[in-house]
Amino acid sequence: MSSLFDPIQVGTLTLRNRIAMAPMTRARNPDGVANDLTALYYSQRASAGLIITEGTPISRSAEGFLAIPGIYTTPQIDGWRKVTQAVHATGGVIYTQLWHVGRVSHVSIQPGGIDPVSSTSRIARNSQAWGLTERGEPGPVDVSQPRALTTTEVKAVIRDFAQAAANAIDAGFDGIELHGANGYLIEQFLNPLVNDRTDEYRSDTLENRSRFLLEVVDSVIERIGAQRTAIRLSPFGGLFDMGLYEDVEETYLYVADQLSRRGLAYVHFMDQLSRGSSPIPRDFLQKFRTHYHGTLVLAGGMTKERAEQFLRDGMIDIAAFGEPFIANPDLVERLRNDWPLLKPDRALSYGGGAQGYTDYPTYPIA
């Protein structure tokens, strides 16, 4: 029986506990470069067994949120190196989450005001990005009409993922997590209600529908190795107009088989129940475990009690906490000692400076 506070082997690394800090956009980098404040923020939370950074764009056109740090230019790589050095100095382990939002973007965020790109030209209904409003101020904006990538452009995006992974290792990250969840580009290919392509990435078979995801995984593995490569998925999720489809379970069990053969560092599930979407059924988790023979991380509305129950039942290997880490940089010790948790000020979640970012206190010990 595993405890939250037991060590675990992930890839070639031994994590000191089974608590991960889930990726969370904080929008503190208006120039797109991680800075000293970013380094402080992550190093304050490095008692987590694993830190997964905020979504990190792989290219200029991959962005869907203003003021987030990318990893496709030399200054960005240098900026992230400050972060990894600060986390490693405290004995922490840190992966970066590589992100392409696809159609969940707005022309005000795109280079030269071009249309966002996707697997499709279908707009994400009832969905918003964080761009420039009509008043020219940062804020929520309805997503723009996307343009479907050509087959040649799809191959170029795959190369962008691989290069971003290599950049991440250059910046000192212990590994990378591909963002294949929450309605972003990888899932836009995987979901047959969104993917209306006619080329080799079309959705008529599981093999074709999964081709983009697996080619991205394979390209990254080729550059940095399987043991430093992970992926986040959100089966049964509905964010950004994804929609549930008839063979969703079959799709993700097929993906599980394919990923299991590749020896990834881990697979990270996002349960979107906490985001108002469908939960991941418990029986599906059990089935996934029989198909994917590797480390499984689960995030979404996580509590200590829920995490320990999942660990006791052998359903997961690592529990990822998101929002609790914002206001509790010492979350691991608070959970270990059953100390009360602070609640974050959500008005300070995005943008700004140190307030609501690096100024949350640790628990006062007499």
Question: What are the C-alpha distances in Å from 287 to residues 44, 168, 293, 325?
Answer: 37, 33, 11, 30
Instruction: Provide the 3-class DSSP secondary structure of residue 213.
Output: helix
pLDDT for 1 beyond 60: no
pTM of the model: 0.96
Is 184 one of the catalytic residues? yes
> Which position among 41, 42, 95, 184 bears the catalytic label?
184
Mean pLDDT (whole number) for 228-243: 94
Cα–Cα distance, 156 to 132 (Å, whole number): 27
Structure tokens at 252: 């993700």
More confident residue, 78 or 137: 78
Average pLDDT over the chain reads: 96
Question: How much is the pLDDT for 355?
Answer: 97
- For residue range 272-281, list pLDDT tens digits in order: 887 767 788 8
Q: Which domains does the chain have, with CATH numbers?
A: 8-348 (3.20.20.70)
H/E element, 129:
strand 128-132
Mean pLDDT (whole number) for 279-298: 94
Question: How much is the pLDDT for 2?
Answer: 66
